[in-house]
Amino acid sequence: MLQHRLRRLGRSVLFLPGINQRALDKLQTLACDAAILDLEDAVSPAKKLEARGLVCTAASRGYGPHKEIAIRINPLASAWGHADLAEAVHSGAHAVVVPKVDSADMLQEVAAKMDELQAPNDMTIWAMIETPLGVLNVQQIAASHPRLSCLVAGTSDLSKELQCATTPCRHALVPSLALIVLAAKAYRLRALDGVHLDLDNESDFAAQLRQGLEMGFDGKTLIHPKTIAATNKMFSPTDVQVTHANEVIDAYEAAIAVGNGMAVLHGKLIENLHVDMARDVLAMHTMIQAATALLFVPGLNDALLTKLRLLPCDAAMLDLEDAVSPLQKDLARKRVAAAVRGGCGPYMEVAVRMNPLASAWGPQDLAAAVASGAHAVVVPKVDSADAVRRIASAMDELQAPPAMGIWAMIETPLGVLNVQDIAASHPRLGCLIAGTSDLSKELQCVMTPDRHAVVPSLAQIVLAAKACGLRAIDGVHFDVAKTAEFDQQLRQGREMGFDGKTLMHAQTIEQTNEAFSPTEAQVQHAERVVSAHDKAIASGAGMVVLDDKLIEHVYVEMAHEVLSKHRLIQARRRGAN
C-alpha cells in the first residue's frame, strides 16, 4: 500500500543543473515535491568540482519537511563518482540518485560505499533505469538493498539505447516502463516517470502525464518549473476520489462494527483491496494538505535568513523542528542564532521554533534561542498547561529577559481540549498558533477548502486566546498555486477572529497583510466614532450618537483598537522605507 512505500510526496520531481546557482537559489520558491540536483549530465567535466560545491551547499540549506532533495552523482566508475558520493552523503540531502543502473551489483556497491562513509540510516538511493540491460534486470535491482526507495525511468537515454522512435504515445517505451512500474510496486518502491523534453508541446505533455498516472507511476521527473503545477494536479487525488475513499472507509468500518462479514456501498461489494486503495488515496491527500504575516523560515536556509530583514512580514518563525533533519540540528541552531543576533529591524518579531524539550535537541534549542535575543520561543505540540510551565521554568533558569515570550502551537486533539488551561498557564505566554496540518493528520479528517472539519478546533483556539488576552494565529495554507482557496482561508480566519496567519512562502505576505489590516473605510469610521465619543464626553452628554445610531462603549473600544493597529502598520511601513 502507498502508506508503506512513501514517506514523502513525489508527484513532481524537478531536475536542476548543479552548476546553475540561480536555479538552485530559486528552489525554495518552487512548488515541486522533490528536486534532483544534478552533477552528471547537466555539468561539463571542467565544471564538476564547482558544481559539487554548489549542490552540496544547496542541499544543506533545508527546504522544510515537505520537499525532498536528492543529488544525482556521476557513476562510481567515473573520475568524479566517489567524490560526488562522499560529499553528497554529508550534505543533508535525503537521497542519492545513481545513473544508468543496470545490475543489482552496481547498486549494492553504492550502498556499501555509503555505509563506509557513515551515511545516515534514512538516506536512500534512487536508481535510474535508463538502459536495456537495466530494464531486463529491474526486478533484481528493485530487490537489491534496503536503502533503495525509488526507481526513476530514464526515458531519454533508454530511447537512444533502444534506437526507437519517440512518439507522443511512447508505444516503443511502454513495455519497459511497465516493467519498471511492476518492479517498483512489487518491492514497495516509488516509481517516477521520465522527463518530457518538448516544453512547447503542452498537449503531448498532458498526454504523458495521464499515461504515466494510468500506468501506475507515482510522479514524473521534470526539467522546467512551469510544468510543476500541471504535474502536481495530475498525480493528486481529486475531490471526488477523496469523497469516495471516505465513503468506502466509513462503509467498511460500519460493517465491521456490527459484525457484518461484507461491506456494501452504492450496491457494490467492498473488498479489502478497495479499502486499501481508499486508504492510499486518503494518505496521499493528507500528505498534500500537510505538503506559511508569520513566516516559517527553515533554520538551514541561509539565503532566506539573509533576506529576512527585507521581507514585509510582521513576524518570522525560524524553524529548528520539522524543517531540519536530525543530522543538521546543530548547524541550523548556529545559523538561526546568528540570524537573530543580526537583527531584523524594529518592526519584525522574530521567534525560534524549538524541538520539544523532551527531545535530544530541545534544551540546546531553548538555550540558544534565549541567548540569541529572539522575541519569543515557539513550542510545538503543546497539549497541557504543564508543558508551557516547564518551558517557562527552564527560561527562568536560563535568565531569559522578562519580555521574552512563549508562543504555543496547538496542533493535537489533546491540545485543543486543554486550550483554555494552556492559555491561562503562564504570564510569558503571548500567542496561540493553530497547527492545522498536524491537527488534521491527528484527527484523520479531510481538509477541504472551507476547512469545516477543523473549524470547531480553530474556534476553541480563538476563544481561549481572546479570553486570556493572547494573540491567535491561524494555520498554514500549503498550496500556493490555489490562490482562491488561500483567499477563502484568509477571509475565514479574519472573520473567526484570528489576528494573523502563518505562511510558508514569502509571496503570500502582502496578501495576508492586506487581509488582516483595517481598510481605509474602517479607519475613517473608527476616527468618526472616537471623535463623536470625545465630543459627547466634552459636552457632558450621557449618550454618543453617530449617523443616528447609538455608540456604546464597546464600539469605542473597537474603534481605538482599529486606530491603534492602523498606527502600528503605518509606523512599520515608514520604518521599512
The mean pLDDT of the chain is 86
Helix boundaries (H) for 66-223: 81-89, 104-116, 132-136, 138-142, 155-162, 174-186, 202-215
Please tell me the predicted confidence (pLDDT) of residue 483. 74
Mean pLDDT of 269-292: 71
Helix 174-186 with 202-215: angle, nearest 10 deg: 40
Query: Does position 32 have pLDDT exceeding 70, yes or no?
Result: yes
Buried b (16+ CB within 10 A) or exposed e, 465-502: beeeebbbbbbbbbbbeeeeebeebbebbbebebbbbb
Place of cell 529577559: 401
Q: How many angstroms separate the CA atoms of 283 and 285, rounded?
A: 5
Mean pLDDT of 236-254: 84
- Reply yes or no on domain 2-234 having CATH 3.20.20.60: yes
Query: Does position 534 have pLDDT exceeding 90, yes or no?
Result: no
Among 418-432, 461-475, 481-495, which is the least confidently predicted range? 481-495
User: Which of 103, 106, 167, 112 has the alpha carbon at shortest distance from 136?
Assistant: 103
Of residues 40 and 306, more confidently modeled: 40
pLDDT tens profile 326-381: 888 999 899 998 888 877 655 578 889 999 999 999 999 999 999 998 889 999 99
**Residue 563 · residue 525 · CB < 8 Å:** no
Q: How many CA atoms lie within 13 A of 504 on its CB side?
A: 25
**Residue 502 · residue 317 · CB < 8 Å:** yes
**Residue 154 · residue 99 · CB < 8 Å:** yes
Please tell me the predicted confidence (pLDDT) of residue 3. 34
**Residue 81 · residue 111 · CB < 8 Å:** no
Topology of domain 292-515 in CATH is TIM Barrel (3.20.20)
Equal CATH topology for 2-234 and 292-515: yes
Query: Does position 571 have pLDDT exceeding 70, yes or no?
Result: no
Among 212-226, 284-298, 350-364, which is the least confidently predicted range? 284-298
Domain ranges of the chain: 2-234, 239-289, 292-515, 520-576
Of residues 309 and 53, more confidently modeled: 53
Please tell me the predicted confidence (pLDDT) of residue 1. 37
**Residue 312 · residue 513 · CB < 8 Å:** yes
Query: Does position 142 have pLDDT exceeding 90, yes or no?
Result: yes
User: Which of 379, 398, 396 has the alpha carbon at shortest distance from 388?
Assistant: 379
Cβ neighbours around 570 below 10 Å, total = 11
Q: How many angstroms separate the CA atoms of 395 and 477, rounded?
A: 31
Of residues 71 and 33, more confidently modeled: 71
